[in-house]
Structure 1
Amino acid sequence: MNTIGSWQNHAISLGLPPNTPVKKQIDEFIRRWDNFR
């Protein structure tokens, strides 16, 4: 993950629209992590 980037950049890196709320981004990251393990 980019530690300097914005939440908009974080959303794009997850394949989400840039205006995705932070909570939804975190939920998506957790979902992917659960599928990865």
Structure 2
Amino acid sequence: MADNCPRCNGKGVVRVKTAGGDKFVTCPNCSGTGKAK
């Protein structure tokens, strides 16, 4: 079984700060799966 992606902690999304506030985008490290490669 794969471990959780360390970048998004298994969520599949990461929070990014933008001018309009924080928003969630698909984690580039795991392509949104939430699992480490």
- Bin for the TM-score computed over the shorter chain: under 0.3
Which of the pair has the greater relative contact order for Cα pairs under 8 Å at 6+ separation?
Answer: 2
Of Structure 1 and Structure 2, the greater strand share is in: 2
Q: Which has the higher helix share?
A: 1
Output the TM-score relative to the length of structure 2: 0.21
Compare CA radii of gyration and give the structure with the larger one. Answer: 2
